[in-house]
Chains A and B, each alone.
Chain A
Amino acid sequence: MSETLQSLKEIVGERGVSNRPEELWFYSRDPGVLDPHLPDYVVAPKTTEEIQKIVQLANREKIPIVPMGNGMALTGLVIPLKGGIVMDMKRMSRIIEVNEMARYAVVEGGTSQGVLAAYLQDHHPRLRHSLPDAPPTTTIAANVSLHGQGRLTQQYGFNSDMVTGMEVVLPTGEVCKIGSPSLGPYWFSKGPTLPDLSGLFLGWLGATGIITKVGLKLFPNKKFRDAELFVTDRVNLVPDILYKLTHLEMLEDINVWFQPKPYIFKDNYHITIYFTGDTEEEVEFKRRMIWDCLQEFMDSKDAGFMNTQYMKEMLLEMPQRGIAAFADVPRGGGFEYSGPITIIEHYPQYAANVIRLAEKYDLLYASAARLISGGHSMMFSISFAFNRADPAMMKRVKDALDEATAFVLEMGGVPWKPNYVEQRMTMEKMDPVSRNLLQMVKKNLDPNGIMNPGNWEVN
């Protein structure tokens, strides 16, 4: 047995480490289109102390570590590009505290989105968190570390904006508290009024440390939720429609989606408008406001509300299970998407590009955009399904997404959870001083380059 394996067993026990071919094979890949790369070990710690010891060992021996939640980013962020240790965080899943009055929760990093949502429903039904539409197995720390979004992003920003404090194991093994928990027992602020150190970790995709605990803002859970579906075939009108909707300042979430299948959805742009209330009167008032603000588009016969009765249950589901089911449309078990962040006025160009790429690469597409922070920006997903048994199709998806990223950068957008190739493209485009600052942060925090190497590497 290797010394490293023996040391890992001493830290996490026999059941917490594996170098068996089955685990190495599985943890060498994610469900996306990037090639796998074998790790040397997979570990599954249960405590911050165990993680600290593993990181100290890895830093001493210069062994790469790749933290992993459920691996559903789809862009290869948990593929151990340089081998080493994949750290499955899902056994660190305790919900430590909910402060009902201050509306925050403190959870261990491997806590899944689904479990937190169910816990709040059971124990704090007045509160909710911003649940992503990713599968419920995805974890809180992974979501914030890649600037994920969720159901409340339209109102309150990226889910990473909702962080209220963190505990992080630094690449050199120190355990560091970020924000108000560095001063006392309360987890209500990740930064302000201190210098906001959370930016050293959020968005870094695990390349600067391992997030072991997260404080997360919770929000009022209204008694009623409803949705309206506004449809137009005039893509150029979409930005104006969204502008008018966000002017209301009263909507839970706004998603814009288009897809060629089933046929009923072809050639139309669908805007799902979610709203909530504590009384039926409040909900009806908001509905009326929504209808009023979009009246002009109906008068000009350019758009209209679609009857949603038959699909209401699906629209209101959280998370929407149908999103994962897109992977089986070509009966092939896969899809991958690029989700750049852009400004709303670019929606028509992005939409045209999706259709162009799908035609060029002969792929099935779907796109769902989500508004961020009342319309200051949007996440625009460019999603292609593939058949996992068809390597040529997977290659076409990869090429199409690379081309999509090039388009995004040309348009001044920002790639979301970019894979290592897209990170490289992004850094090439980046202002050199900004790029140097990134490099400075990475080098200083991770002098031996052990944290998720291959990601956010300038050289």
Chain B
Amino acid sequence: MEYVRSIEHGDIVHRCFRCGYCKFPLDYVDFNCPSYKAFGWDTYAPGGRMWLARAWLSGEIESSQTLAKVFFSCVSCDNCKDQCVFERFREYLPDIFREVKAELVSEGVVPPEVRDYFKAIITNGNPYKLPREERGTWAEGTGLKEFRNQEYLFYVGCVGSYDEIGRKMARSVGTLLSQAGVSMGILGSEETCDGNEVRILGEVGLFEELARINIETFKERGITRIITLDPHALNAFKREYPKQGAAIEVFHYTEMLAKLIREGKIALAEYPATVTYHDPCYLGRHNGIYDAPRDILRAVPGLELVELRRNRQFAFCCGGGGGNFFTDILGTGEDSASRVRVREALQTGASVIAVACPTCAKMLDDAVKIEGMDDRLEVLSIAEIVSRAQVR
């Protein structure tokens, strides 16, 4: 039987002009599409994907590992959606890329790294292939308690639970918030992957199952307000879970920290440093949170905040979104997003890159090492900066 491909937005893929505005930020200072920057072929740019999607849907080209690499290397940073000049369909660009990935998943044509990612989530509940029991060990020694009717759930996600840099960030945030009097608990080993990357990578069924498990847990435990460590989890909870029946209020930790500082619940002492801030795509472009992290940094006495050349809505992704943090399809070459980004950070004259996302933290930290900038540039989470500046 012949397999007939179709995607929900298949009737509009021909409307891309492939003019290339989508590759840039608004002022055109450099290419702002991480996969195009890394691979350098037009096929890896949003316009290339749109044209290939049309050729593939019409049968002019076949499913292949190359085609899969083209689509699965998209980091879902949403720059193309913001910069495309075709106002009447640009909002569907990320949907189209996700729908093609979902169709490739259905056909079983995915890069091996993506297959392994799905497999790890299915068998271990996390992409690190580590036991579920270890999921809450990051909190040991912090004094954070299991969620039992506190006001907020502090949800840390897979990177915050298992990655060393993520765990450090989770500890900083958890400690800061609880010390400031925020009533919150954690799920520890009962926490389940939020599924944001699973969805973006096109495994719709697995995402729905993860969302179902999480929503059930939230309902059973009476969780209605959540603080996330990870902007990716924030995105899934805020934008996707309500479609699955969740009734939750979701905040990113930087929003909470900014509020606590504003209310004088965290006192800050001098922290003399020149700091630049990297906007995470899932906090900034996807969810419009640009000011809270900056408000926190500006509140630190002695700290000078200098902006990256590409910032806020025009920020360049770290390259870790869309599952690339785990699949590493973009690689670590000279033009990989994280390396480009730390070089850009160094040009600001800052000695610290502040981050608000554990994925960005790890990506940029690795890039600093590859670029040999360890002696000049430090990657620190906003929570760690606040901790260092905190009056004790």
Contacts and interface: CB of A to CB of B under 8 A. Distances in A.
Interface of A: 15, 18, 20-23, 25-27, 31, 42, 44, 70-72, 88, 90-91, 112-115, 117-119, 121-122, 135-137, 321-322, 324-325, 327-328, 331-335, 387-389
Task: Tell which of B20, B40, B66, B87 has the most Cβ of chain A within 10 Å.
Answer: B20
Given A27-B42, A135-B20, A115 B27 contact: no
A88 B52 CA distance: 18
Nearest to B17: A327
B81 to A, nearest CB: 15
A99 to B, nearest CB: 21
Interface stretch (B56-64, B136-144, B149-157, B168-176): B56-64
Interface string B43-76: 1000010011001000011101011001000000
A299 to B, nearest CB: 40
B43 A23 contact: yes
B88 interface: yes
Nearest to B335: A91
B363 to A, nearest CB: 21
Nearest to B27: A118
B41 A324 contact: no
B40 A90 contact: yes
A117 B41 contact: no
B43 A22 contact: yes
Contacts of A334: 17
Top-5 shortest CB links A-B: A114-B28, A137-B20, A118-B29, A333-B15, A327-B17
Contacts of A72: 19-20
A327 B47 CA distance: 14
Interface in B296-348: 309, 333
B27 A22 contact: no
A91 B40 contact: yes
A332 B19 contact: no
B42 A88 contact: yes
27 contacts: A15-B333, A21-B62, A21-B66, A22-B61, A22-B67, A22-B70, A26-B52, A31-B19, A42-B41, A72-B20, A113-B28, A115-B29, A118-B29, A119-B29, A121-B27, A122-B309, A135-B19, A136-B21, A137-B19, A137-B21, A321-B85, A322-B85, A324-B19, A325-B87, A327-B17, A327-B19, A332-B15
Contacts of A117: 28
Contact of A21 (B19, B64, B333): B64
A333 to B, nearest CB: 4
B287 to A, nearest CB: 25
A447 B61 CA distance: 36
B24 A333 contact: no
Contacts of B88: 328, 331
B91 interface: no
Contacts of B70: 22
B24 A325 contact: no
Contact of A325 (B42, B64, B85): B85
A331 B28 contact: no
A324 B66 CA distance: 29
B66 A20 contact: yes
Contacts of B42: 26-27, 71, 88
Contacts of B89: 328
Interface in B5-20: 14-20
A316 B106 CA distance: 48
A324 B60 contact: no
A15 B17 contact: no
B41 A23 contact: yes
B167 interface: no
A280 B333 CA distance: 49
Nearest to B29: A118
B291 interface: no
Contacts of A21: 61-62, 64, 66
B30 interface: yes
Contacts of B98: none
Given A25-B61, A328-B86, 7 more contacts: A25-B60, A117-B28, A324-B17, A325-B86, A328-B89, A332-B14, A335-B17
Residues of B in contact with A, size category: 35 or more
Given A15-B40, A332-B15, A26 B51 contact: yes
B40 to A, nearest CB: 5
B15 A331 contact: yes
B252 interface: no
Given A321-B21, A328-B15, A25 B52 contact: yes
A420 B114 CA distance: 45
Contacts of B309: 122
A88 B24 CA distance: 18
Contacts of B30: 115, 118
A91 B29 CA distance: 15
A325 B41 CA distance: 24
A397 to B, nearest CB: 14
A120 B52 CA distance: 35
A319 to B, nearest CB: 9
Contacts of B85: 321-322, 324-325
B39 interface: yes
Contacts of A27: 42
A15 B29 CA distance: 24
A44 B41 contact: yes
Given A137-B19, A325-B86, A115 B41 contact: no
Contact of B15 (A18, A42, A91, A388): A388
Contacts of B43: 22-23, 26
B17 A18 contact: no
Contacts of B24: 114, 136-137
A332 B40 CA distance: 27
A27 B42 CA distance: 8
B14 A389 contact: yes
A118 B88 CA distance: 27
A107 B233 CA distance: 44
A327 to B, nearest CB: 4
A88 B15 contact: no
B23 interface: yes
A31 B17 contact: yes
A135 B40 CA distance: 18
Interface string B269-297: 00000000000000000000000000000
A388 B87 CA distance: 18
Nearest to B331: A15
Contacts of B39: 15
Contact of A122 (B23, B29, B60): B29
Nearest to B48: A26
A321 B42 CA distance: 20
Nearest to A136: B28
A456 B309 CA distance: 44
Contact of A22 (B20, B23, B64): B64
A70 to B, nearest CB: 6
